[in-house]
Amino acid sequence: MNNSQTNDLAQKRAWGALLLAGVFEVGYALSVGGSQAFSVLTWSVSAIVFFLLTLYFLSVALKTIDVGIGYAVWAGIGSIGAAIFGALLLYQSLTLYQSLSLAVIIFGVVWLKLADSQKLA
């Protein structure tokens, strides 16, 4: 395997770890919401587990991805996921204006990913 292929593989793994970190961030946010200020044991334990998982996978991703881009993508995934799943599972409101604002975040996250890919070329 040449150096270019090694870098491509490292980038793919880093972005996979970042995606996992984002998914775990959604789990953390929903668990904190369900814990009712850490007064419900099962939700509280779930929040702690998701918190540790999201931090671990974020740190793995940031070994390869620039911190500014990685953190923005991670926060974007967490924000969007928490808003959508909060509306679906916890019956929280999600207005049209909020949905449009989330679409802007999605656009920004995709643009950041594309910009990072261009840097490699």
Per-residue pLDDT in tens (0 to 9) along the chain, 121 residues: 677 778 889 989 999 999 999 999 999 999 999 999 999 999 999 999 999 999 999 999 999 999 988 999 999 999 999 999 999 988 899 999 999 999 999 898 888 878 766 655 5
Cβ(14)–Cβ(61) below 8 Å: yes
Number of structural domains the chain divides into = 1
Which one-letter amino acid corresponds to residue 52? L
Cβ(74)–Cβ(22) below 8 Å: yes
Rounded distance, CA 100 to CA 106, Å? 10
Cβ(96)–Cβ(63) below 8 Å: no
Query: What confidence score (pLDDT) does residue 1 get?
Result: 67
The DSSP symbol for 40 reads S
pTM of the model: 0.85
User: CA angle, corner 27, sides to 84 and 21, nearest 5?
Assistant: 100
Structural domain including 84 reads 3-120
Cβ(43)–Cβ(34) below 8 Å: yes
Q: Which residues fall within 8 angstroms of residue 81, CB to CB, at 6 or more apart?
A: 22, 23, 25, 26, 29
